[in-house]
Structure 1
Amino acid sequence: YLMEAADDICYAILDLEDAVEIGILDVREFEALFSHFGETERLWHTDDPRQKCAMLRGIAIGRCVAEVAEKFMVHQDTLLRGSFPGKDLIDVCAPQIKETLLAAKALASQKVYRHRTKLVTELASYPCIGTVLDVLVPAIHTRLTVGEDALSARHQLALNLLPTPLHAEQGLYHAYMQVLDYIGAMTDNYAANLAREISGVGIL
């Protein structure tokens, strides 16, 4: 139930943020949907759409997570007994949370998922993910099976992309999972930009 709620929260919000980033949605639509969560006075100090979206995303996810955690504790016994009254945890959240997430999903369905830009970006993300993996996986394998001295200059640069450094005692499985976590957290647009930068297309 918690994982399902986490997915619902993240995808409902991040899909719209991604849509603003690639020009499908106006930032004002994103702002109108989530600004009622409060703490929006910080938004007045920036005109950058990305910063506005990032601030609102943080506020919205924080509020949603807190609400879901509270409802999980309230309904923990019925969840464990299999007699939980709701469809999911979002279903028993406060109306403001539930209705906002439903509205976010509806907006994404209407304006984002079938938009040509989104479809093309998603299609392009598949080879982009392959490009990133083709750079990182061999570097990780060499680092952990042969040693740091065997790393090429390209491998060393690739490993520096990871937000958390590898450790010599780390197993391949956990290292590969670290890479998948890193890639899984990317938006389609970010993955596309990173793949382009790695391959040198349009740069060199």
Structure 2
Amino acid sequence: MNWLQLLSHKRPGETNTIAHDQTRSRFDQDYDRIIFSHPFRKLQDKTQVFPLPEDDFVHTRLTHSLEVAVVGRSLAKNAGTHLLEKYPELRKSGYTIHDFGGIVGAACLAHDLGNPPFGHSGEDSISSFFLTNEKGQFFKEKVSAKEWKDLTTFEGNAQGLRILNGKGNGGLKLTFATLGAFTKYPLSSSCEKEKGRKSQKKFGYYQCNSQLFHEMANEMELIPVGENKWCRHPLAFLVEAADDICYHIIDLEDGCRLGLVPFETVKELLAEIIGDSYSEEKVQKIPSQNERLGTLRALAINQLIKECSDAFIEHEEHMLDGSFDTDLTSLIPSAPAMKKIIDLSIEKIYRSKIVLEKEAGGYEVIDNLIEAFSTAVYAKYFDNPLPKHQSVLRLLPEEFEVQLKSAESVYEALQIVIDFISGLTDSHAVRLYKTIKGYRLPV
């Protein structure tokens, strides 16, 4: 792979070559389009770890995505400084470090767009409906084997790509470079996964986006590693690192603020990352615990940015030839400390009562919603609807009704239902569930 192709600022469907504008590049446009999009705004009411938080400091998907974008932009500018010196043709073509920052920043902003309400329990619930629910299994004979694989393995990354390239959402149409950096898993759901390849841990696109992904891979000359799967775009490693840094450190910070992890424990873990720059004397001079946490978090993230930038530069050539395929945070000097943080987070945070209650409740809400809407949609558009089906469908926003009228297959109709369910905020999902179940009737 080569960087001039990898930094393509063309958009899907474009045939003419567009001049690169340094004043407001197309990567800046990508960033702005995401910020102003409806799916991005809805992240403000989607669970990161803790449900519907009352504490100001607890993160939602929105604040998490903004912070990942900040970290990703810093990583990319560090990497871009090195790449512009190493490959003079990039500078001659008008690229600057801001282009690297724009691409990775935009991809980071979008990295959670496909996540449904209630986090991972929402993902599991959508898949389980088709796998284990009798009404979900009904659809198996109505779709192809590859389409069934999409439905039974809902994946937030693939859903995100679908959102970014859907007909709705104001027509985001991001550049190929941003879409490449966004795609951590460049393969379809039906591909066999190779053990040991981080880029094949999950999948990155549904069958409905297959043509788009082939166009993207061809434009940027991604290296194929089998049928319908490719090597990662190198900048995807930076997006992944930014996400890893933020959720390791920020989830720990939130857990401390909510009293799930003692401050002294957090301080020791972050001090291990900060290293020689850590000063107990300076920490003790900070008046409040919240301020101490914020200072330690900032120092730890700064150190991790430096270490991950160095790791990217060290392995960049192997990324280009496709021989590198692991996460950067596992290779840095702070990797042992990061491992301690994730082990502690699993025990004290992700398995805490408040999180487990959220997951159990979210599972029930999503399962009931997808059953109600998928059954009603099939009855109306492919069978004979009952009055209750009509009542459920009246709860759909107008734009989804318009899309369903033009759906040409059961698979396409079910994907539109999934678009609706996965795009709900936590609060909207709960209200809709109560409405459908009859728990929330107007008086």
Report the TM-score, using the length of structure 2 for normalisation: 0.28
Distance 2:58 2:53 in 1: 14
Identify the residue that residue 326 of structure 2 maps to in structure 1.
87
Q: Tell me the amino acid that sits aligned with residue 140 of structure 1.
A: V
Cα pair 1:131 1:195 within 8 Å, conserved: yes
Cα pair 1:19 1:118 within 8 Å, conserved: yes
The unaligned stretches of length 5 or more in structure 2 are: 1-44, 73-102, 109-180, 182-233, 238-311
* Total equivalences in the alignment: 161
Cα pair 1:142 1:151 within 8 Å, conserved: no
Deviation at 1:124, TM superposition (A): 2.0
Cα pair 2:368 2:433 within 8 Å, conserved: yes
| Structure with greater Cα Rg | 2
Question: Which among 417, 427, 435 is matched to residue 179 of structure 1?
Answer: 417
Alpha-carbon distance change, 200 to 22 in structure 1, aligned in 2, over 3 angstroms = farther
Alpha-carbon distance change, 103 to 183 in structure 1, aligned in 2, over 3 angstroms = farther
The answer to whether 1:199 aligns with 2:437 is yes
Cα pair 2:376 2:393 within 8 Å, conserved: yes
Question: Which among 376, 396, 399 is matched to residue 139 of structure 1?
Answer: 376
Deviation at 1:115, TM superposition (A): 1.9
Q: Tell me the amino acid that sits aligned with residue 52 of structure 2.
A: E
Q: Secondary structure at the match of 2:361?
A: helix
Cα pair 1:112 1:118 within 8 Å, conserved: yes
Map 1:48-197; keep pairs closer than 5 Å: 53=60, 56-63=63-70, 64=72, 66=104, 69=181, 71-72=235-236, 78-79=318-319, 81-84=321-324, 87-88=326-327, 109=346, 112-146=349-383, 153-160=390-397, 165-186=403-424, 191-197=429-435
Cα pair 2:366 2:429 within 8 Å, conserved: yes
Q: Deviation per CA, 1:126-170: give whole Å up to 9, x if none.
A: 22222202320122112321489x995404314338757323343
Q: Secondary structure at the match of 1:201?
A: coil
The unaligned stretches of length 5 or more in structure 1 are: 1-13, 31-52
Identify the residue that residue 28 of structure 1 maps to in structure 2.
57
Distance 1:188 1:105 in 2: 25
Distance 2:46 2:440 in 1: 27
Cα pair 2:51 2:358 within 8 Å, conserved: no
Q: Tell me the amino acid that sits aligned with residue 50 of structure 2.
A: A
Identify the residue that residue 25 of structure 2 maps to in structure 1.
none
Alpha-carbon distance change, 79 to 90 in structure 1, aligned in 2, over 3 angstroms = same
Distance 1:104 1:163 in 2: 42
Cα pair 2:47 2:426 within 8 Å, conserved: no
Cα pair 1:128 1:195 within 8 Å, conserved: yes
Identify the residue that residue 6 of structure 1 maps to in structure 2.
none
Distance 2:374 2:433 in 1: 14
Distance 2:406 2:316 in 1: 41
Deviation at 1:80, TM superposition (A): 6.6
Alpha-carbon distance change, 175 to 125 in structure 1, aligned in 2, over 3 angstroms = same
Cα pair 2:431 2:440 within 8 Å, conserved: no
Q: Tell me the amino acid that sits aligned with residue 28 of structure 1.
A: F
RMSD across aligned positions (CA) = 4.6
Distance 2:425 2:351 in 1: 17
Identify the residue that residue 209 of structure 2 maps to in structure 1.
none
Cα pair 1:144 1:171 within 8 Å, conserved: no
Q: Secondary structure at the match of 1:28?
A: coil
Structure with bigger helix share is 1
Cα pair 1:166 1:175 within 8 Å, conserved: yes
Q: Secondary structure at the match of 2:408?
A: coil
Identify the residue that residue 100 of structure 2 maps to in structure 1.
none
Alpha-carbon distance change, 109 to 185 in structure 1, aligned in 2, over 3 angstroms = farther
